[in-house]
Amino acid sequence: MNKKFLGIIGAVVIGGGLLAGCSTSVEDASSDTGSKQEAKKEESAKDKVYKIGDTVKVDGLKITLTKAEFTSPNQYTKAENGKVLTVDVATENTGDTQAFIDNTDFNLYDKDGNKVEQYFGYDDMAISGDVNKGRKMSGKLYFDVPEQDSYEIVYTPSFSFDSTEVKFEATPQ
């Protein structure tokens, strides 16, 4: 009985230690400052709303939304809300392991806070794939949107054990 109890306690301690090591870090990668401000920078980066052109680093993956613009929908696939917002994404893996990014990691919201669906009418696929250590990948996101001045894009990493969210304000050009 004692051995069984100790075995259960040991499993809980080891499992807890593994999960504790799986937290997601968010850093503002637009400007590098001294290590003294690292904790403050990480906390403020989680609450910050980034703009097009800003770079954010999430678990070693630098993500930059480089451009947002309205594009014409495919002639065979109508945009239900009237417009297609195309967002260019650039990534760089500065971490120690392979990283994954996918268009489903991004949600877009209109000015009223309503989630807007992705647009799947183009032949070009949205960004999706593994980024090896030290490598870069770029791609696009497509959203079926009503026309307005700005939108909120929320990035939530697929393989995160916490509720990390990075918010971008996207103003179409």
| 137-152 confidence digits (pLDDT tens) | 999 999 999 999 999 9
Q: How far apart are CA 148 and CA 76, in angstroms?
A: 24
Residue 114: strand, helix, or coil: coil
Confidence (pLDDT) at 58? 93
Tokens at residue 64, please?
A: 């930059």
Confidence (pLDDT) at 164? 87
Q: How far apart are CA 68 and CA 65, in angstroms?
A: 8
Measured over all CA atoms, what is the biggest interatomic distance in the chain, rounded to whole angstroms? 71
Confidence (pLDDT) at 34? 45
Give the Å distances, CA to CA, from 4 to 8, 16, 27, 54: 6, 18, 43, 53
Confidence (pLDDT) at 29? 67
Confidence (pLDDT) at 17? 38
Residue 88: strand, helix, or coil: strand
Tokens at residue 15, please?
A: 């499992």
Confidence (pLDDT) at 47? 79
Residue spans of the chain under pLDDT 70: 1-25, 29-46, 161
- Read off the pTM: 0.78
Q: Do the beta carbons of residue 157 and residue 105 sit within 8 Å?
A: yes
Q: Is the dihedral of CA 57, 103, 151, 111 positive or negative?
A: negative
What is the 3-state secondary structure of 19-61?
HHCCCCCEEECCCCCCHHHHHHHHHHHHHCEEECCCEEEECCE
C-alpha closest to that of 155 among 116, 92, 103, 120: 103
Q: How far apart are CA 52 and CA 147, in angstroms?
A: 18
Domain coordinates in residue numbering, the chain: 24-170
Q: What is the CATH number of domain 24-170?
A: 2.60.40.1240
Q: Do the beta carbons of residue 138 and residue 20 sit within 8 Å?
A: no
